[in-house]
Chains A and B, each alone.
Chain A
Amino acid sequence: QLLLQESGPGLLKPSEPLSLTCSVSGDTLTTTSFYWGWIRQPPGKGLEWIATISSSGGAYYNPSLQSRFTISLDTSKNQFSLQKNSVTPSDTALYFCARLVHNSAYYFWFDPWGQGTLVTVSA
């Protein structure tokens, strides 16, 4: 059974860097048919896709976020990460990691998701 578990700093001050990690068990990140992604949900708001990375390390970002985030793989630890150089209060959200799967017709969907890690940005 594939399990994903997010970890993060919890509380950050504005302008501090953000680093989140998703630990994957039950599969390897290098399985070529899968991609891996990050999605967030600010309090009281909807879901927002942030970034996706392929098993070979190709990165894809939500153009609305202007690539302020960086997604990366650590195959030695079977983890993938999300980083941002400097956070603002608008980055306060529950951050989820998820596997992006597809069928033979290349329809994609996120499954499964981790439980999420809350990041609060406050002075």
Chain B
Amino acid sequence: DIQMTQSPSSLPASVGDRVTITCRASQNIDNYVNWYQRKPGKAPTVLIYAASTLQSGVPSRFSGSGSGTDFTLTISSLQPEDFATYYCQHTYRTLGGTFGQGTKLEIK
């Protein structure tokens, strides 16, 4: 199985900060990576698919990059509504894949 190692697990930050979350795959997965946001009590929503494609309706302050084994999700200027937990997921040669353990973005 392909493992997705996500870091950090917790990230204190302030409104206006630029933050980066990383995900490392245990083998080359090309760019088959998605990023999701989950707020307490809500369903996860997709932010980025294919490593860098912004889902329709998602603010442009979110961006994704990477290929091969190393991937990043960047929020250019944190907004109050962005404090949530973020997950990466690979879908390389699978109709499901593996998720990272999550990064909880917390108010500093």
Question: Which residues of A come within 8 Å of B, CB atoms?
Answer: 35, 37, 39, 45-52, 60, 62-64, 96, 100, 103, 105, 107-116
Asked if residues A52 and B95 are in contact (CB atoms below 8 Å), the reply is yes
Asked if residues A103 and B50 are in contact (CB atoms below 8 Å), the reply is yes
Q: Assess A115 versus B43: contact at CB under 8 Å? Given A37-B96, A48-B99.
A: yes
Choice from B31, B94, B101 contacting A46 with Cβ under 8 Å: B101
Asked if residues B46 and A109 are in contact (CB atoms below 8 Å), the reply is yes
Query: Which secondary structure dominates chain A's binding surface?
Result: strand
Choice from A46, A60, A114 contacting B43 with Cβ under 8 Å: A114
Question: Which residues of B come within 8 Å of A, CB atoms?
Answer: 1, 31-32, 34, 36, 42-46, 49-50, 53, 55, 87, 89, 91, 94-102
Chain A residues with CB under 8 A of B34: 109-110
Choice from B43, B89, B97, B99 contacting A112 with Cβ under 8 Å: B43
Chain B residues with CB under 8 A of A47: 36, 44, 87, 89, 99, 102
* Chain A, residue nearest B94 (CB): A60
User: In the assembled complex, how far is the CB of residue B26 from the closest CB belonging to chain A, in whole angstroms?
Assistant: 13
Chain A residues with CB under 8 A of B46: 109-111
* Chain B, residue nearest A60 (CB): B95
Asked if residues B91 and A107 are in contact (CB atoms below 8 Å), the reply is yes
**C-alpha spacing A28/B87, complex, angstroms:** 28
Asked if residues A60 and B50 are in contact (CB atoms below 8 Å), the reply is no
User: In the assembled complex, how far is the CB of residue A48 from the closest CB belonging to chain B, in whole angstroms?
Assistant: 7
**C-alpha spacing A100/B53, complex, angstroms:** 16
